[in-house]
Structure formats: structure tokens, C-alpha cells
Amino acid sequence: MPIKILMPTLSPTMTEGNLALWVKNEGDKVSPGDVIAEIETDKATMELETVDEGVLAKILIPEGTEEIPVNTPIAIILEEGEDKSQLEDMNLNYEKSEAKTEITATEEIIPNQDLVSSKESAQILDDDILNSDNGNPNATSNDQSRIKSSPLARRMAEQQQIDLSLINGSGPNGRIVRADIEAFSSLDTPVGKNSPQVYKDEHSDFEIVPINNIQKVVARRLTEAKQEVPHFYLTVDCEIDNLLGVREDLNSRAKNNEFKISINDMIIKACAVALMQVPAANASWSDEGIKIYKNANISVAVAINDGLITPILNNANRKGLLTISSEMNELVSQAHAGTLTPDQYQGGTFSISNLGMYGVKSFQAIINPPQGCIMAIGKVEKKPIVKNDEISIASIMSATLSVDHRVVDGAIGAKFMEAFKTLIEDPLGMLL
């Protein structure tokens, strides 16, 4: 009998997704493992593979459709010996009210890629876009039609600031693939970009920067966090001269720069060890009760073109500094490339946000629910301090803990900050 292809659940929190692109067309034969479509979640664009063999007989939802609830039928596959007459008795209607069809700016016209990434969704800015010829896969951005490309090709184009409308794809149906990007990069050709649309009001000119899915989700969750989570804050100043000395000593042992441990790597390790020393701080809120975690899965805030994402270093309490450094470098690279999988950015127990490299002295971060705490790290400054009734100069780093009072009370928060400060100021203790 006909097989329904459903909008998949690609992460534990996913309730809806966008159908970014159909890789296969109606009438194409498909086999298990074939990529038939690209699905856009709130964090990434992922390929949808079929597990069945047959013919893609009917596409129920067009590419470009947004906010499709999970488990919604999106296509029909007919097995060998079946024909389209068997579709007549099936309910193939899809209420458009259940999903919003919009042309995504980056797929349609690729506007200003410094501001908009290859996975962003945008509000339609010009009604003329609706009249574009979506059937021509090789059309350029000048006729506003969809630019078909693989996720890898889009990421490469974004990183190299290449306008996809300038490239003729060599893949199936004119799809732009990795080889096309590499070939274009080798040419001495200026990279063209579309100018963002400029608006005017009575006071000044302005541009509208499209909001992508990641920004929408982050905005919603942060608003909910500040409205629903009772925050309080604890700040300590840490002397890190000993930590800087240990870091320098460790890095000096690297041969041919095979590794470079950062201050942030040591902060991650210190937080992980402190959470094991004060396990009540390694907690999150749930309707069933407070969850106390046995391992420290540290979420680290990373700024990307799409907004903000928090890749997770799992079991950081069990890992040495070299492993932490290596894994964090890989996670950051994947975050910028847009290749993180849901398990790499969901399920953390504690978060760290470090703005010290931007010269920020101190700040208060917003908790990432359901986690109970997030640590905000400021810049390192040389300051005069009093030791043994004498004034000396020390390197001081400010650390502020944002705490969900439902999960962690003031005494537990203070004990955690005391443990963290001790480990930062005497870093050999975290290496035991």
C-alpha cells in the first residue's frame, strides 16, 4: 500500500519544521538511504533519508513551506506494482493554516550574506517575489527563483561570502554541490551580492534584517526565561595569576603547537569540578521535581552568524584539559559550519558565557532553561589588591553566576562560587 512520508522529529524539543528543499522530484525512484528532502529545524538544516523503496509518487507539501507540525504527511511513496490510482482514496489534503508558506530570502535571493546566513528564513519583502518562476533550478537571483544547493555547498558559500546566484549547479536538476563552490572559488571572479532593501520613515533610513529560525527560538526562550525564571546573581573576583602560569607551562610542553589550552578551557574544567564538589548546583527544574545530575555537561555559548548556539561538552568532569581543548575547538568549528547535530547542543546541565575577549568587565547572563545556572565570565584586568597588609598587583577575572532560585538557593550558589574561585586560584586542585 502507499507509504506516507512524515515530517520527522529530529530533536526531543522539535514540534515543527520547515521543508527547505525537495531533492527528489515526483516520479523519481527512491531506495533506502536516498536523501529526498532537506528539513530546517530551529538550529540546523538536516537531510531527510527514506527507508523505503519505490517511486516518489506525490509531493504533498511544497518546498519553502514553514512551520509544518511533526508527523504531518509530506509525500507519498508507491511500492513496486502500485500506481497513482491508489492515491484516489487517500486523504491528501493539507490545510495551509497548519503551516506558513514563505519564500526564504537566502534560498530565493541570497541577500547580503554578511547579515543573513544560508539557513535563515525571512519575511517576504517584495510581492514581486511571489511571481517568480520556481520551476527553473538554474535561474539566478535576478529573477528571484529558488536556488537549489546542498547544505554543504550553502555552508561553504556562506563562509566564503559567495553569491549562489552566480553559480550554475552541476548536480541533479541543476543543484549546486561542493564541487561547484570549489570550482567557483578558484576563479578570479568578483563576488556579487544583492543590496539589502532600504526603507524610510519620517526620521531616518533603515534596513530590515530578516530574522532566522535560530534567532526566533532564542528570542522566545530568553523572553520566557526572564519572565518565568526567578533569577538572582552572585559575583566573585578571582585572582588568576597561578592559572595563567599553569596554562603557560602546559602550553610550553606542546611540540609544534600541537595543542593550545585556553583560559576558557580551564574555566570549563573548574566549573565541572566545582559542580561535582557541590552537586546540588548541577541541577535543573522540572514539573516532577528538581533533577540533580551525576555528570557535568557544560553548555558553552558560541556566537555564530545565525545568532547564538550552545554546543555541549559532555562529561567535562571526567576529561582532562587536552581533551576539553580539542573537543571544544571541534564543537566551535562545527557550530560555525552549521553541522552540529541535536545531541551536540541539547541536554546540558550548566552553561558558560564568556565575553571577556570583547573587553566586557562583567555581566549577568540569562539562564538557559531548564538549567539552573549560567556562569558569565568577564575580562582579565590587572588590579591593585591587598595581601598581608601590603598592596600588590594581580590579574583579576570577574565571574557572575545567574541562578534559578527554584532550583538552587543562595547558600548552594555561594558554596559553588566558593568552590569555583578556589579551583581557579589554585588550578592544580582541578588536575587531581
Catalytic positions are 405
Cβ-proximal residues to 220 (8 Å cutoff; 6+ apart), any chain: none
Q: Are 150 and 178 in contact (CB under 8 A)?
A: yes
Q: Are 380 and 416 in contact (CB under 8 A)?
A: no
Other beta carbons less than 10 A from residue 279's beta carbon: 14
Other beta carbons less than 10 A from residue 85's beta carbon: 7
